[in-house]
Amino acid sequence: MRSTGKSTSLRIRQVIRMRNRKKRKNIVPRLLKTMREFYPVMLPVTVMCIIFNAVVSSVPSVFMQNIIAIVEGSWQSGDWEASGPLILKFAAILASFYILSLAAGILYQQMMAVITQGTLKKLRVRMFGGMQRLPVKYFDTNNHGDIMSYYTNDIDALRQMISQSFPQLLISAVTVVTIFCIMVYYCLWLTLVVLVGVSVMYIITKTVGGRSASYFFHQQNALGKVEGFAEEIMNGQKVVKVFCHEEESEEEFKKLNEILFEESERANKYANTLGPILNNIGNVLYVVVAVSGGILLLAGVPNVSVSGLALSISIAVPFLNMTKQFAGNINQVSHQINAVVIGLAGAERIFDLMDEEPEHDDGYVTLVNAREENGELKECEERTGVWAWKHPHQADGSVTYTRMSGDVRLFHVDFEYEPGKPVLHDISLYAEPGQKVAFVGATGAGKTTVTNLLNRFYDIADGKIRYDGININKIRKGDLRRALGIVLQDTNLFTGTVMENIRYGKLDADDEECIAAARLAGADDFITRLPEGYQTRLTGNGANLSQGQRQLLSIARAAVADPPVMILDEATSSIDTRTEAIVQRGMDALMKGRTVFVIAHRLSTVKNSDVILVLDHGRVIERGSHDDLIAARGSYYQLYTGAFELE
């Protein structure tokens, strides 16, 4: 049984490796296709310049053969007068080719710089645009530092491959093919000797380079994990120091760094060994060709070639130069293996990010500005303060408009983050326009999960959620989220001014609207005392502000959006009691006329809710007003009285 398990595991690993190899083979065609899509004219022109440059670098051997043949003929005939002009003629032609090659080289280098940086720029735009369309689940299940590695390490590895390795590989390939054709043209016997040496070089390159390639792919993934851990520790540095976790963090980093070291060591060990081996094989091949040429000349072996020329010094000497150039270009390929494999690993990770399944949205009900005419809602372009759901009916092609009022209802909702592990069971509730609904319960009871479902950050497994009588699956996600304001426990402020951070909730809001929202949230008082008031610049997630001040800005951001439904997820949990009183007044004003869902650990903040829902392990175990639940003396009563005892 044990051996069977091992063989099954081995087969699984072999299948995974085969799939990975097949996947990697598709990277180069896809990358070239992407580059051709970005630069349909410039890329072919660049390739032509590179090919011309490579061909010119191969032709000196031809000129050398002609010049040696002229000298050899003059020496045999004793007539040296005619050889001088012919040698000058060939030298002038070769110089002309070199001048054209220089121009082509400068041109392709300039265009390659544009293609490289332009390709990276457009790939970054595609990556970031695709990332914005990914579901929240992707960011909940992937390390943020590893995601950042796509934009840094992987992009840089791809840059080096495109700008340096690809041109060099193309030059080497064209040079090898050109020289091989010249060799066959002059002497097939010596060409066969060279091919034997090249076959040995190919086998070694494939064996050593193949092993190196797999380790480079592992190295790139290990590098992403190291960066992810470092980013995580930097963000939580205060927590690390508070709990004296420096040594444990260092040990964990050492483990990840050791894995990176081992993968990098193996990869570079093979790659760095390859160059010297091929270089020495090239030297040996040079000697073998020289000896073989001498033996053929002394033995008077008839030459077999396309040219029909007899084997002579004029062929043997240039052949040595071609052999050195031939082996040198193959050796040059080995020097690019590191950059190519790392670049392909980076490209694979980049394409993996771009291929991630975007957030699915099949909603067709949209949110539009409306005005009331003769008792009916009509869509309009200008802002009227009235919003309506535009609902096109596919059956008869008609369109109906429903006023957005903030009526939210859940019917028998089930949900699970992972299959087979349910989080919510048969949740039913309703919130009429203007009602305040509170969720209370222990950590992990499912309170925040309910609000995630309202925003469709996750989709329910069973049941229905309706907004103003419309199934939210039919509402386009962007429009649904514009109709919901949310204040999270964790605040996120962006680099920019205080005014810009408030305006984030409504990008077309003017300064007066932002200031009014700040006053409503109770943030205006501390903002006006900042060095530059609303124009004070924030960095590092508002590190120069207290946690309470950051939360007030987050509430102001939601206030300026002015949605009919507000979700307050532990919105005052990070605020001291005095600040909470200020915020509470602003929130009370903010909640007027709106449907509000409140999640709070401080039960004193939910006393005035219209309905309080007590959740336990994903089920609603009690519901009612504060007075009703206290009178029932159930779970809520125990929570509430326990909180007072703690106070």
State residue 11's pLDDT score.
43
CA 465 remoteness from chain centre: 33
State residue 509's pLDDT score.
87
Residue 476 has pLDDT above 60, yes or no: yes
pLDDT tens column, 197-214: 888 877 877 776 666 666
Q: Stretch 311-333: mean pLDDT, rounded?
A: 80
pLDDT tens column, 562-578: 888 888 887 666 666 67
Among the ranges given (62-76, 125-139, 202-216, 354-368), the one the predictor scored with the smallest mean pLDDT: 62-76
Hey, how many other C-beta atoms are within 10 angstroms of the C-beta on 177? Answer: 15
DSSP string, 282-297: HHHHHHHHHHHHHHHH
CA 128 remoteness from chain centre: 7
Task: Provide the pLDDT confidence category of residue 19 given band limits of 50, 70 and 90.
Answer: very low
pLDDT tens column, 206-262: 776 666 666 777 777 787 788 778 777 776 776 676 667 778 788 888 888 888 888
Q: Coil, strand, or helix at residue 31?
A: helix
Q: Which of 2-6, 266-270, 315-319, 642-646 shows the highest mean pLDDT?
A: 315-319
For residue 308, what is the DSSP state? -
Q: Coil, strand, or helix at residue 484?
A: strand
Residue 13 has pLDDT above 70, yes or no: no
State residue 646's pLDDT score.
28
Among the ranges given (25-29, 186-190, 397-401, 549-553), the one the predictor scored with the smallest mean pLDDT: 25-29
State residue 111's pLDDT score.
93
Residue 10 has pLDDT above 50, yes or no: no
Residue 604 has pLDDT above 80, yes or no: no
Task: Provide the pLDDT confidence category of residue 158 given band limits of 50, 70 and 90.
Answer: very high
Residue 337 has pLDDT above 90, yes or no: no
pLDDT tens column, 400-409: 999 888 899 9
Reported CATH class of domain 408-646: alpha beta
Where are the chain's structural domains?
2-354, 366-403, 408-646
Residue 414 has pLDDT above 90, yes or no: yes
Residue 346 has pLDDT above 50, yes or no: yes
Task: Give the angle subtended at the CA of 51 by the CAs of 50 and 53, to the nearest 5°.
Answer: 65
The CATH number given to 2-354 is 1.20.1560.10
Q: Which of 43-52, 96-105, 368-377, 548-557 shows the highest mean pLDDT?
A: 43-52
β-bridge pairing 408-418 and 565-569: unpaired
Task: Provide the pLDDT confidence category of residue 16 given band limits of 50, 70 and 90.
Answer: very low
State residue 73's pLDDT score.
60
Report the mean per-residue pLDDT for the chain: 81
State residue 408's pLDDT score.
92
DSSP string, 395-422: TT--EEEEE----EEEEEEEEEEETTEE
Contact 35, 117 (CB under 8 A): no
Task: Provide the pLDDT confidence category of residue 153 given band limits of 50, 70 and 90.
Answer: confident
What tokens were used for 590?
A: 């903010």
* Backbone φ, ψ for residue 507 (5° rounding): -65, -25
State residue 2's pLDDT score.
39
State residue 183's pLDDT score.
85
| Helix/strand/coil percent split, the chain, to 5 | 65, 15, 20
What is the share, in percent, of the chain residues with pLDDT greater than 90? 17
Contact 60, 318 (CB under 8 A): no
Q: Which residue has the higher pLDDT, 197 or 514?
A: 514
CA distance linking residue 235 with residue 463, whole number of Å: 39
Among the ranges given (115-129, 302-316, 350-364, 499-513), the one the predictor scored with the smallest mean pLDDT: 302-316
Task: Provide the pLDDT confidence category of residue 644 given band limits of 50, 70 and 90.
Answer: very low
Q: Stretch 314-340: mean pLDDT, rounded?
A: 79
Residue 182 has pLDDT above 80, yes or no: yes
Q: Stretch 507-516: mean pLDDT, rounded?
A: 89
What is the share, in percent, of the chain residues with pLDDT greater than 70? 86
Q: Coil, strand, or helix at residue 615?
A: strand
Hey, how many other C-beta atoms are within 10 angstroms of the C-beta on 489? Answer: 16
Q: Environment class of residue 573 by beta-carbon count within 10 Å: exposed (0-12), middle (13-18) or buried (19+)?
A: middle
